[in-house]
Amino acid sequence: MRRVRFHKNGDPEVLRVEEAGVPRPGPGELLLRTEAIGVTLPVVRKVREGGIPLPASPGGEVAGEIVAVGPEVTGFAAGGRVTGLCFGAAYADHVLLHSAMASPVPDGASATDAVALVRCGLVALGAYEAARPAEGESVLVTGAASGVGHLAVQLARARGARRVVGAVGSAAKADFVRSLGADEVITYAELGDGGRTAPVDIVLDAVGGELLSPAVAALAPGGRLVAYSSGGGTVEAYDLPAGAKSAIGFQMALVARDRPALMERWRRELWELFFAGRLRPRVHAELPLEDAATAHRMIESRVNEGKVVLRPV
């Protein structure tokens, strides 16, 4: 089989396609013939900056057909189509996926649909629910053109937000974000200037860093900032009390570990909205494994509008 590996950290060009034997599923594992692989910013950063033992193959969302099941697997069988998150060795035409991380791909949905919708949608929906939204509130989404952000914009609208604002790094993405249902689109520079948009009840922040302070400033009294990015940053405590504002952290891994029933409910909602035409995952590019470096450059340069996907076949 073919897989993408890197033997040192650095630019995306460190990614190389290699030949390897097809792995055998162990206890609780599924062997998939991969049809689509999602590229994520945290993984792109690990390739550049480190944090995992080398040599390594990047992790990511995957979708494909089950070709074998390991011992102790229940509820799945060869021939079924599933999607899920691989923490490593996802960039390959065959992957091992733990059954606890797998969920079925419904009839009528493609592997690309599944990779673009499920994991990113779970993060977007989970971050939105972490804010405890009330119908009719206003929402600002940073990273609004990203794989997660473009779904968050749509989910806020589908969940009854009165006003949805998308924040993006470049004004060139404004038309795309408006096509998702955003009422307004502003750039990060405009958000940082303040006063470029009316205050909002909720900010869903996928960027972090220097954007956190203007994001808090954009909140109305009683507003809530939900931070779910891997970009770091600091919220000044004295910015919160005067307006009775809150800063909330959200991490998908904790929900997956501790609240599987909630995860399943969220998955059902995502697919229901998808088949109703109210949630449309967008794909910026579908590339072969050999172009993994190109996919990573797209994510690093923030040019993508929607999800970037690798297609092994």
Q: What are the DSSP calls for 176-212, one per residue?
A: HHHHTT-SEEEEHHHHHHS-SS--EEEEEES--GGGH
Q: Which residue has the tokens 């400033």?
A: 217
Please name the residues in contact with 27: beta carbons below 8 A apart, sequence gap of 6 or more.
Answer: 70, 71, 72
Q: How far apart are CA 125 and CA 116, in angstroms?
A: 14
Amino acid at residue number 231: G
Task: Check if the beta carbon of residue 169 is closer than 8 Å to that of residue 190.
Answer: no
For residue 252, the number of C-alpha atoms closer than 13 Å in the C-beta half-sphere is 22
Q: How far apart are CA 174 and CA 176, in angstroms?
A: 5
Domain range summary for the chain, segments of one domain joined by + = 2-105+282-311, 121-253
Supply the pLDDT for residue 154. 98
Q: How far apart are CA 270 and CA 110, in angstroms?
A: 14
2-105+282-311 belongs to which CATH class?
alpha beta
Q: Which pair of structure tokens corresponds to residue 62?
A: 């995957």
Q: Which residue has the tokens 């995306």?
A: 12
**CATH architecture type of domain 121-253:** 3-Layer(aba) Sandwich (3.40)
Each residue's pLDDT, cut to its tens digit, for the chain (313 residues) gives 999 999 999 999 999 999 999 999 999 999 999 999 999 998 999 999 998 899 999 999 999 999 999 999 999 999 999 999 999 899 999 999 999 999 999 999 999 999 999 999 999 999 999 999 998 999 999 999 999 999 999 999 999 999 999 999 999 999 999 999 999 999 999 987 766 789 999 999 999 888 999 999 999 999 999 999 877 778 888 889 889 999 999 998 888 888 999 999 999 999 999 999 999 999 999 999 999 999 999 999 999 999 999 999 7
Helix axes 111-130, 149-158, angle to 10 degrees: 70
Q: How far apart are CA 170 and CA 154, in angstroms?
A: 20
Supply the pLDDT for residue 195. 66
Q: Which of 132, 120, 157 is nearest to 270 (CA)?
A: 120
Tell me if 2-105+282-311 shares its fold with 121-253. Answer: no
Supply the pLDDT for residue 256. 85
Q: Which pair of structure tokens corresponds to residue 41?
A: 């910013």
Supply the pLDDT for residue 44. 94
